[in-house]
Amino acid sequence: MNRGNFEKNTSRTNDARNATDRANTLRKQQIFKGRGCPFSGKKALQINYKDVAVLSKFLSERGKIIPSRVTSVCFKKQRELAKAIKRARFLALIPYVND
Amino acid sequence: MKNFYEVVFIVRPDAMPGLVESIASDITKIIKDEGEDVTKTEFCGLRQFAYPIKKNKSGHYVLLNIFGNSTTIAEIDRKLRINENVLRHLVLKVDRLDNNPSPLMQNKHYRENLLSNSGEEEFSAKNIGE
């Protein structure tokens, strides 16, 4: 929400933000590492476009969808997840961009 | 052929008291007149948006679960699009309807429980009211 600063030095702040975003992704990578798909199996999480708590686990700090190679979500579930996230965005439950 | 549908719509935050309910009951009436079913109606209350919609920062969320024909659903979709008090709506055909309260309705305590016991289906409607 630091608008004034943002406009003065857009490229540099953007770089810095993308860097923190990457760092955040790396951190999530470590959290998810060594596990199978969180949506597969008997006790798996359910994908639901209304469930902001679950969806936000698979979003970066900027609100981007984290790649499945990081979160180890299987390809089938990643497609479902992406669709659910996009529906939640449409209903203004989660932001399109987080800046 | 009848299908399962989920309808979510968002009403303006400055709507008169009772307007949200009346829109929902209008829709319910259309469906009932066709001899079809509304299996669940949820008023999720005033909720903050993640981004402004038509300069509004919040809105009343309503969720309807419907078992009906596509023609009826098309009519509801049309009605919602015309209504100026409805900021946004989403109509989905789903494989099955969940009669438990949706995550939009559930309080924080419940959600934490759900995440720690991820996927277990033991939570009934009774546990949530507290």
Q: Are residues B86 and B119 in the same domain?
A: no
Question: Tell me, what's the ipTM?
Answer: 0.76
Chain B interface disruption, residue of A48, A85, A93, A96, most B CBs within 10 A: A93
Query: Tell me: the pLDDT tens digits for A51-63?
Result: 999 999 999 999 9
Tell me: do B81 and B66 sit in the same domain.
yes
Q: How many CB atoms lie within 10 A of CB A38?
A: 21
Q: Which of A88, A62, A58, A63 is nearest to B104 (CA)?
A: A88
Cα separation, B63 vs B90, in Å, equals 10
Interface of B with A (CB under 8 A): 8, 10, 49-51, 53, 59, 61, 63, 88, 90, 92, 102-104, 111, 114-115, 118-120
Does an H or E element contain B22, and which?
helix B19-33
| Tens-digit pLDDT profile for residues B12-42 | 999 888 899 999 999 999 999 998 989 999 8
Chain B's closest residue to A51, CA to CA, is B103
Q: Do residue B23 and residue B68 come from a single domain?
A: yes
From chain A, the residues in CB contact with B114 under 8 A are 53
Instruction: Looking at the structure, tell me whether residues B33 and B48 fall in a common domain.
Output: yes
B76 and B111 co-located in one domain: no
Residue B12 is encoded by which pair of tokens? 């303006």
Mark whether B93 and B105 lie in a shared domain. no
Domain count, chain B: 2
Asked whether residue B22 falls in the same domain as residue B75, the answer is yes
Task: Residue B62: count other Cβ atoms within 10 Å of its Cβ.
Answer: 23
Partner-chain residue, chosen from B51, B104, B119, that has the shortest CB–CB distance to A45: B119
DSSP helix/strand/coil, B105: coil
Which among A91, A93, A96, A98 is the top mutation candidate for probing chain B, defined by the most B β-carbons within 10 Å of its own β-carbon?
Answer: A91
Taking only the tens of pLDDT, chain B with its 130 residues reads: 899 999 999 999 998 888 999 999 999 999 999 989 899 998 988 889 999 999 999 999 999 999 999 999 999 999 999 999 999 999 999 998 888 888 887 654 444 555 555 444 444 444 444 4
Are B30 and B13 within one domain?
yes
Q: What is the CATH number of the domain that holds B83?
A: 3.30.70.60
Do residues B51 and B111 both lie within one domain? no
Note down the domain range covering B109: 100-130
Q: Do residues B91 and B114 both lie within one domain?
A: no
Residue-range domains of chain A with CATH: 3-90 (4.10.640.10)
Q: Based on the domain organization, do B38 and B95 belong to the same domain?
A: yes
Q: Are residues B61 and B14 in the same domain?
A: yes
Residue B130 CA to residue B108 CA, distance in Å, equals 11
Distance CA B104, CA A92 (A): 12
Taking the Cβ of residue A47 and every Cβ of chain B, the question of whether any pair is shorter than 8 Å is answered with no
Contacts of B34 (CB under 8 A, 6+ apart): B68, B69, B72
By Cβ distance, the residue of A38, A48, A93 closest to B50 is A93
- Euclidean distance between the first and the last CA atom of chain B, given in angstroms as a whole number: 40
